A and B are shown apart, each in its own frame.
Chain A
Amino acid sequence: KQEVTQIPAALSVPEGENLVLNCSFTDSAIYNLQWFRQDPGKGLTSLLLIQSSQREQTSGRLNASLDKSSGRSTLYIAASQPGDSATYLCAVSKSGGGADGLTFGKGTHLIIQP
């Protein structure tokens, strides 16, 4: 059974700092890994998707890496801003089929202090 763990559970940093969120998964047989952002009272927004054959993906100030063999991914946020405050969720997909859905971590609650 796949388990996804995110560390830290919560993080508070001053604006402008670079930061790293960590995600680990127990079964390396994944199809892809996604990072989501969840704002209070709202749904999830997909930030980055890394296919199992890829090592990293970048979007603006965000960079996600994937080390499938060790079961780890990191989300790097550069020059953090107060608007980055949210809960960040890591999720893995077991197969190419969507039917199995995603297995999520519990998230990292991020607060960027102005």
Chain B
Amino acid sequence: DTAVSQTPKYLVTQMGNDKSIKCEQNLGHDTMYWYKQDSKKFLKIMFSYNNKELIINETVPNRFSPKSPDKAHLNLHINSLELGDSAVYFCASSQEAGRSGANVLTFGAGSRLTVL
């Protein structure tokens, strides 16, 4: 059973389109994240979310919007895609702060987005 699953694994689209990447975790974790890994392989956090609060990284354009229908899902919606959005996006999850295992992240396999 996959602990953190992302779909789709590959996504190729045109500039200006709107797309979503879905993420689901079956670990019972309280906190979920989206990370972006650019062409230089640098991983940077975009968002973190638990069932109380969404933390937005200030460097993330507001074209990116995370949506969490429940604590097991954190989807990433991107509006008006740009060439620079091409990257691999990783979803992750962890236990809530203060609990055993807090900050031990489990990552999904990644979703490679290519914007043409």
Contact = CB atoms under 8 A, between A and B. Distances in A.
Interface of A: 31-32, 34, 36, 41-46, 49, 87, 89, 91, 93, 95-104, 106-107
Nearest to B55: A99
A34 B104 contact: yes
B23 to A, nearest CB: 11
Given A43-B90, A43-B107, A98-B31, A89 B43 contact: yes
Given A42-B110, A87-B41, A98 B95 contact: yes
A26 B26 CA distance: 35
B44 interface: yes
Categorize the interface residue count of chain B.
Answer: 20 to 34
Contacts of A87: 41
Given A98-B94, A99-B97, A104 B104 contact: no
Given A97-B102, A104-B43, A42 B109 contact: yes
B14 interface: no
Interface in B80-96: 90, 92, 94-96
